[in-house]
Amino acid sequence: MILQLKDLFKWVNSGGQRIFLLNDIDFTVNEGEFISIMGPSGSGKTTLLNVIGMLDNFNEGEYTFLEESVHTLKEKHRAKLYKEYIGFVFQSYHLIDELTVYENIETPLLYKNYKSSERKAMVADMLDRFNIVGKKELFPSQLSGGQQQLVGIARALVSNPKLILADEPTGNLNSTQSEEIMELFKTLNRQGVTIIQVTHSESNAAYGSRTLHLKDGVIVNTH
């Protein structure tokens, strides 16, 4: 088991009413799973992903990540935890415009205080693996969407996380590019990386081992 959510609630107060963004979520993820989260707009998919990624808080319930109870941890500890074990992939790639491909991939390693020689080796490995060595000196604006997302995934993977959280990773891509990215995820999953993705598309969800349907913050079914 990599993580477990138990009786988890998240809400906002609006005009004296409590609006539930996440409503009584019970959900366990085991190591090696590839989970897709689906649901209509505003159903709480991204919120759930952010809660799992510890970027967002929740109001009630329990969250255990690798034996640590996240809800009792201090902000600092939590950040340490997700930095160590989680990689993020975003719909709009979210690369840093001022950095080259190489530097973008290198950045997480800088924050984890790897030595320069180690960083070089790890980034080179990623560039190799994703076949983007030739583009390492380019800036994000010089790349196509698919290429940018490749860099985004490389950046998420470079520090060997246990879990990848992907928020509509192919939302901005055309179908060919989408397929490539999903194939990549599948390969990664086979190599042992646990993946949770949020998606709108049934075909993308089909790559996963399990699909979670959300509606108005409630898990309506799993299959």
Partner 1 sequence: MIQNYFKIAWRNLIRNKGYSVINIGGLAVGMAVAIIIGLWIYGEISFNKSFKNHDRIAQVMQHHTINDIRETWKALPPIMGKGLEENFGDYFEYIVQSSWNSNYSLRFDDKVFVRRGNFFQPNVIEMLNLNLLTGSNNGLKDLNSIMLSESVSEEIFGEKNPMGKILIFDNNINLKVAGIYKDVPENSAFKSLNIILPWSLFLALNPEIESKTNPWNDGSYIQTYVKLAKNVGFEDVSKKIKDIRYNKGNKLVKSYKPEIFLHPMSKWYLYDDFKNGINIGGRIDKIRWFGFIGMFILALACINFINLNTARSEKRAKEVGIRKAIGSNRRQLIAQFFVESILISFIAFATASIMVVLTLPYFNNLVESRISMLSDSPLFWITCIVGSLIIGLMAGFYPALYLSSFRAVNAIKGTFKGRQTESIPRQVLVISQFTISIVLIIGAMIVSLQINYATNRPVGYSKNGLISISTTKETHNNIDAIRSNLIGSRTIIDMAEASEVITEEWNGYGGWSWEGMNSNLLPDFKFGNVNYDYGKTIGWKIKEGRDFSRNFTSGSTQFILNESAVEYMNLKNPIGKTIKSGNDKAVIVGIVEDLIIESPYEKVKPTIFHLSKGQGSVFLLRLNPTKSIKESLSKVEQVFKNYNPLLPFNAYFVDDEFEKKFRNEKLLGKLVNLFAIIAILISCLGLFGLASFAAEQRTKEIGIRKVVGASIFKLWILLSKEFVGLVVLSIIIASPIAYYLMSNWLNDYTYRTDLSFSVFLISGLGALFITLLTVSYQSIKTASANPIKSLKTE
Binding site for partner 1 (CB under 8 A): 46, 50, 53, 55-56, 76, 79, 83, 87-88, 90, 92, 94-99, 103, 107-108, 110-112, 155-156, 159
Residue closer to partner 1 by CB (options 67, 111) is 111
- Minimum distance from CB of 221 to partner 1 (Å)? 27
Residue closer to partner 1 by CB (options 83, 210) is 83
Four-residue CA torsion sign, 13, 14, 18, 23: negative
Query: Which tokens in the block code for residue 112?
Result: 């984890």
- Minimum distance from CB of 119 to partner 1 (Å)? 11
H/E segment holding residue 204: helix 202-205
What residues contact residue 127 under an 8 Å CB cut-off, 6+ apart? 101, 102, 105, 133, 136, 154
Q: What is the DSSP letter of 93?
A: -
Residue closer to partner 1 by CB (options 99, 124) is 99
Q: Which of 28, 157, 21, 2 is nearest to 81 (CA)?
A: 2
Query: Which tokens in the block code for residue 23?
Result: 């409503």
Residue closer to partner 1 by CB (options 6, 83) is 83
- Minimum distance from CB of 107 to partner 1 (Å)? 6
- Minimum distance from CB of 102 to partner 1 (Å)? 12
Helix (H) and strand (E) counts in the chain: 7, 10
Round to whole Å and give the CA distance between 20 and 13.
9
- Minimum distance from CB of 104 to partner 1 (Å)? 9
Residue closer to partner 1 by CB (options 165, 211) is 165
